[in-house]
Amino acid sequence: MPGLVRGMARTAAIVGTATATRNAVDRRQAEKNAKAYANAMDSAGMTQAPPQYAPPPQQYAPPPQQYAPEPAPAPQDDMIAQLERLGNLRAQGLLTDEEFAAAKAKLLS
């Protein structure tokens, strides 16, 4: 019987040590994650701390934001961008002079 008591005491000590170690590791990991999150938010320009708990539910939903649609790019600007892209492709050697001339003629027609 004394051997059984010693074995149980030893098991309890091992379990207690393992639990304490696991809790310490979890706490250190949580602190490390919180610091990494804070650093990421700072580098992204978001200095406000994250909420620790969910905000209380609102009784009424706020009105939806109204945004004006973005204006379509002017056809002239689009054509210039396409010509520049073709010129870059030719400069990189991805288009031959003939391919460039044909694509340019098609764009300008």
Domain co-membership, 42 together with 76:
no
Q: Is the pLDDT of residue 88 over 80?
A: yes
- Mean of pLDDT over the chain: 76
Separation between Cα atoms, residue 78 and residue 71, nearest integer Å:
13
Residues shown for the chain: 109
Choose the final residue of a domain: 15, 33, 48: 48
**Containing domain of residue 32, as a range?**
1-48
Per-residue pLDDT of 54-83, as tens digits, reads 766 666 666 677 776 777 666 677 888 888
Asked whether residue 88 is assigned to any structural domain, the reply reads yes
pLDDT at residue 8, as a whole number? 62
Asked whether residue 31 is assigned to any structural domain, the reply reads yes
Domain co-membership, 1 together with 44:
yes
* Total of domains in the chain: 2
Asked whether residue 7 is assigned to any structural domain, the reply reads yes
Asked whether residue 65 is assigned to any structural domain, the reply reads no
Asked whether residue 79 is assigned to any structural domain, the reply reads yes
Asked whether residue 10 is assigned to any structural domain, the reply reads yes
pTM of the model: 0.33
pLDDT at residue 107, as a whole number? 84
Burial status of residue 13 (CB atoms within 10 A of its CB: 0-12, 13-18, 19 or more): exposed
Choose the final residue of a domain: 32, 48, 64: 48
Asked whether residue 53 is assigned to any structural domain, the reply reads no
